[in-house]
Amino acid sequence: MKRMKEITDKANKVLENADSSIYSGQRIDIVKLAKSFGFMVGISKKLPIREDGFIYVAPDGTKRIVVNKFRSVEDKRFTVAHELGHYFLHIEKADNLVLLREHKKDIKPTEKNFEDEADFFAACVLMPEQVFVAEKNKLTKAGYNENEIVSKLGETFGTNRETVFKRMEEVAIVQAQS
């Protein structure tokens, strides 16, 4: 992904502009964060199984993020952060836009790039690099193995194991580029 630094900076700016009440220890209250930027956040049991959620920005300025009721708490958190990524990276100035987050195999390259960028933004918001690295280093020094580290980081940041593994890879790439 070409825009990693730009997306990291954007995510950090979003966090810097947010109220400190979005933090509970190291964990971000992603719904509070979304609400602080004027979003209504809801849950729907009517979304098709392959859809995680969607963002809707109306011409009148109404902003909504809806997540699939049947996802895990961790996946719901990631979906809200992902949709915020679409907003801040792709549609902040757009009118009347709906984007769905769904699991598709036949995704176009431009759509995949948008999805990858929103995923990376979500990881940057939920697991900010400096805090993530500090927590990982603390666990490593305490003698935990990689599997235990991934589990503990998932608990700390409210994310699933797959998301933690991916974030570890992304942080290594970003640090190598610095």
pLDDT along the chain (178 residues), means of 10: 87 94 91 96 94 89 94 97 94 55 51 87 97 96 97 97 96 81
pLDDT the model gives residue 174: 79
pLDDT the model gives residue 105: 47
Nearest to 119 by CA among 154, 70, 170: 170
pLDDT the model gives residue 108: 57
Which tokens go with 144?
A: 């935990």
Distance CA 61, CA 170 (A): 34
Distance CA 117, CA 86 (A): 8
Number of domains in the chain: 1
pLDDT the model gives residue 91: 79
Model confidence pLDDT, tens digit, residues 15-41: 999 988 999 888 999 999 999 999 999
Domain that holds residue 41: 4-177
pLDDT the model gives residue 94: 52
The phi-psi region of residue 30 (left if phi > 0; otherwise alpha if psi is between -120 and 50; otherwise beta) is alpha
DSSP 8-state class, residue 22: G
Virtual torsion, Cα 149, 151, 154, 159, nearest 10 deg: 140
